[in-house]
Structure 1
Amino acid sequence: MKILHLSDTHNKHRQLTDLPDADVFVHCGDFTDNGTEEEVLDFLNWLIELPYPHKIFITGNHDICLWEATSIEELPDNIHFLQDCYCEINGFKFFGLAYNHPESLIPHNIDILLTHEPPFMILDESNGIHWGNSAIKSAVFKVSPRYHLFGHSHESFGNLELKGINFYNGAILDNNNVINQRPKVITL
């Protein structure tokens, strides 16, 4: 199975053309800039148009109007808004932790964890500051998913493996909000 992972598009999603093929499209938050309903609707319409068989997204710190939402009405069945819940695709369990919600909600027995914030000191540096979350880091090593996908730190795009967990920061914008990375395809 192939996952196309990206994050932190900040209303620039329509600039993304010629995206690579994948079975699952994952966006780890900050698809808006100001968190307005209009921005969310534009993103959702774009997401619906994408040709991927499965699409998953979670909220980031900019997606304010969806922070407390538990679902979004009338989304197609192949789009999963993971707000402290999980879905299973091709035998893989994806769990999405809503932005600013307690890491204690992350369950055991998941394969792929989606958060907006990175774990502290893991692909979290931007402008010399570590933007990661210590509580998420502790929870990730306790739960031990096979993959942890996130964004938030614009200057730390990339991946690394640590203690059997594959970490991926999918933030594709730089600190000037210019697209400077190509979304990564993860092959499971």
Structure 2
Amino acid sequence: MKILAIADEESKYLWDFYERGKLEDIDLILSAGDLAPEYLTFLVTMASVPVLYVHGNHDDKYAYKPPEGCICIDDSIYVYQGVRIMGLGGSMRYRPGDHQYTDAEMDKRVKKLRWKLLRYGGVDILLTHAPAFEINDGRDLPHQGFRIFVKLIEKYKPKFFIHGHVHMTYGRTHKRYDKYKETHIINAYERCVFEYEADEKSLRESLK
């Protein structure tokens, strides 16, 4: 399965300079937040594949103008072709506003998903907006990662952890690719394509 991950900045290659065929080999699109709803609507129309998204800390407009034809997986586990995808959008709380959380508030969101995690036998892709604590995050509060994401990676060992929020234009300390224990980490800033193969266990779980 070929997956397009996007976040934070609309890709001119895909939007302003779109040409037919650029998305024909993409099987799934994952948005890690802070993108114009019109952009996601455009991609789901052009690609004719599911676009799954979580909210970024600047996605307040989604409340009255959500991306048409796309699927919000915030606080949920969505299974697509045997791949279990867990969505947890938002950033660390640094000012009043929606889609911002303290560490304790993010912990509560994860606890509400424990029965789904048990039902599906874990998760294959963790899709978030913010990074994990001390794994390519920022040391300033707005860009600091969540500690619970590290615990999720350590306990459930997802194959991929996809996030945005820390733009790669911020500096060389923010990597496109990294790895923590058994999990591949991808910073989805603008766009990134990766391959995923579902294993037999997750396929069985999705058919229950």
TM-score between the two structures when normalised by the length of structure 2 = 0.66
Instruction: Read off the aligned partner of 2:52 and give its amino acid letter.
Output: I
Structure 1, residues 153-185: CA drift from partner, whole Å, max 9, x if none? Answer: 00225112221111111112xxxxxxxxxx221
Q: Return structure 1 stretches of 4+ with deviation > 4 angstroms.
A: 10-13
Whether the aligned pair in 2 keeps the contact of 1:3 and 1:22 (CA below 8 Å) is: yes
5+ unaligned residues in a row in structure 1: which ranges?
33-39, 173-182
Tell me, in whole angstroms, the C-alpha distance in 1 between the residues paired with 2:194 and 2:126.
14
Indicate yes or no: 2:53 matched with 1:57.
yes
**How do 1:26-45 and structure 2 match up within 5 A?**
26-32=30-36, 40=37, 42-45=38-41
Deviation for aligned residue 1:84:
0.7
The aligned counterpart of 1:8 is 8
The aligned counterpart of 1:175 is none
Report the CA distance shift for 1:16/1:9 in structure 2 as closer, same or farther (over 3 A). Answer: farther
Structure 1, residues 55-104: CA drift from partner, whole Å, max 9, x if none? Answer: 1111100002447x9xx69x54xx32112112211111111113236242
Tell me, in whole angstroms, the C-alpha distance in 2 between the residues paired with 1:31 and 1:123.
21
Whether the aligned pair in 2 keeps the contact of 1:120 and 1:132 (CA below 8 Å) is: yes
Tell me, in whole angstroms, the C-alpha distance in 1 between the residues paired with 2:55 and 2:164.
11
The aligned counterpart of 2:95 is none
Indicate yes or no: 2:202 matched with 1:184.
no
Give aligned-pair identity as a percent. 25
More helix by share: 2
Deviation for aligned residue 1:142:
2.5
5+ unaligned residues in a row in structure 2: which ranges?
91-100, 169-173, 197-208
Report the CA distance shift for 1:135/1:47 in structure 2 as closer, same or farther (over 3 A). Answer: same
Residue in structure 1 matching 2:71, options 56, 59, 80: 80
Deviation for aligned residue 1:152:
0.4
The aligned counterpart of 2:157 is 144
**How do 1:31-180 and structure 2 match up within 5 A?**
31-32=35-36, 40=37, 42-66=38-62, 75-76=68-69, 79-99=70-90, 100=101, 102-103=106-107, 104=110, 105-107=112-114, 108=117, 109-125=122-138, 131-155=144-168, 156-172=174-190
Tell me, in whole angstroms, the C-alpha distance in 2 between the residues paired with 1:123 and 1:52.
33
TM-score between the two structures when normalised by the length of structure 1 = 0.72
Instruction: Read off the aligned partner of 1:29 and give its amino acid letter.
Output: G
Whether the aligned pair in 1 keeps the contact of 2:131 and 2:145 (CA below 8 Å) is: yes
